[in-house]
Amino acid sequence: MDGRLTRHVIEGVRDFNTGQTFECGQCFRWRRGSDGGYTGIVRGCVANIYYDNEEDIITIWSDYMPHSETLRDAFWRDYLDLNRDYADIKRGLVAADPVMYDAIDAGAGIRILNQEPWETLISFLISQNSNIPRIRGCIEALCTAFGERIGTFEGRELHAFPTIQRLSSLKEEDLDICGLGYRAKYLAEAARQVNVDGGAFLATADKAEAGKVEDYLKSLSGVGPKVAHCVMLFALRRTDIFPIDVWMARVMSELYGIEESDHDAMRAYAQEHFSPWGGIAQQYLFNYIRGNGK
């Protein structure tokens, strides 16, 4: 696999930073390499992504090789959400709510990735009541055990995210090696539920009505409002969705004086000040409170 990667360059990219985008908490499998590049796997393809912030150039080395340059360009622009005018969004957020300035400044290069729904669902199901280092470990263990091996990169074995069919065939105890704790039961059951239609609804949920999507997600074992909202924001293009977890409750309390338990008031605040970019505002705030602003 090493040496078989194709190079793709995207020029003129502003409002972007690989470190902030890949380490702001929206994804769990991208890893920073010693040369500053980020290695990850998208749709079963390896990618190594660099950003030159002086020349505003993204360079992607990947084994994703559609037959045309145009398709390749569209694929990566979509995944990295480069077709959206973040400068305009950031201006709008600060104008509507000056308190947002520091949070946006700290994560000015964040973009909300358009991730794969199935992987995002399982990843955030695992994330509940856990911490990010451990979540990453659990997901890697899951991929190593049940995902297709797709090569090596810098001496590390790479595995695709396990398929719906694979995970839906597992028993709860098969997942013991992943250290999921009580979430193993949820994962096994949710996988079976998603596989009822082979994942068809989930795969096209970005085009379905938001209420139906949320109801569907919350009908899955181990999926409540928080996980459903993360899937909708990070994989189903619902940039208006405002997921609230302990960190968001903390930052909303600190910045706006809203009682930490009053999530309804937080959603109302987001609706009033951040719409229709509540999800993007949420990510600036989450990144800010967790101290990733450097």
Residue tagged 């930490």 (tokens): 260
**Residues paired with 158 in a beta bridge:** 151
Query: Of 59 and 221, which has the nearer Cβ to DNA?
Result: 221
The reply to whether omega before 276 is within 30° of 0 (cis) is yes
Q: Which of 96, 135, 150, 170 binds DNA (CB under 7 A)?
A: 135
Residue 137 binding DNA, by CB under 7 A:
yes
How near is the Cβ of 290 to DNA at its closest, in Å?
7
User: Is residue 190 within 8 Å of residue 125, measured between CB atoms?
Assistant: yes
Query: Of 73 and 260, which has the nearer Cβ to DNA?
Result: 260
How buried is residue 62: exposed, middle or buried, by Cβ count under 10 Å (0-12/13-18/19+)?
Answer: buried
CA distance linking residue 113 with residue 285, whole number of Å? 16
Q: Which of 132, 210, 265, 268 binds DNA (CB under 7 A)?
A: 132
Neighbour count for residue 54 (Cβ, 10 Å): 5
Residue 144 binding DNA, by CB under 7 A:
no
User: Is residue 281 within 8 Å of residue 100, measured between CB atoms?
Assistant: yes
How near is the Cβ of 51 to DNA at its closest, in Å?
20
| Contact window for DNA (CB under 7 A) among 37-45, 63-71, 144-152, 218-226 | 218-226
Q: Which of 34, 83, 131, 294 binds DNA (CB under 7 A)?
A: 131
**Residues paired with 159 in a beta bridge:** 149
Residue 274 binding DNA, by CB under 7 A:
no
How near is the Cβ of 171 to DNA at its closest, in Å?
15
In 3-state terms, what secondary structure has residue 62? strand
61-120 binders of DNA (CB under 7 A) = none
- Spell out the residues 6+ positions from residue 247 whose beta carbon is closer than 8 angstroms to its own: 286, 289, 290
| Contact window for DNA (CB under 7 A) among 46-54, 82-90, 92-100, 217-225 | 217-225
- x/- contact string, 236-265, with DNA (CB under 7 A)? -------xxxxxx-----------------
Residue 10 binding DNA, by CB under 7 A:
no
Q: Identify whether 171 is a catalytic site residue.
A: no
* CA distances to 148, 172, 215 from 145, in Å: 9, 14, 31
Number of residues that bind DNA (CB under 7 A): 41
Selecting among 185, 212, 226, 294, the annotated active-site residue is 226
CA-based R_g, the chain, Å: 19
Residue 186 binding DNA, by CB under 7 A:
yes
Give the HSE-up count for residue 134: Cα atoms under 13 Å, Cβ half-sphere. Answer: 9
Annotated active-site positions, please? 226
Which residues of the shown chain bind DNA in the complex (CB under 7 A)? 24-26, 124, 127-135, 137, 176, 179-182, 185-186, 218, 220-228, 230, 243-248, 282-283, 286
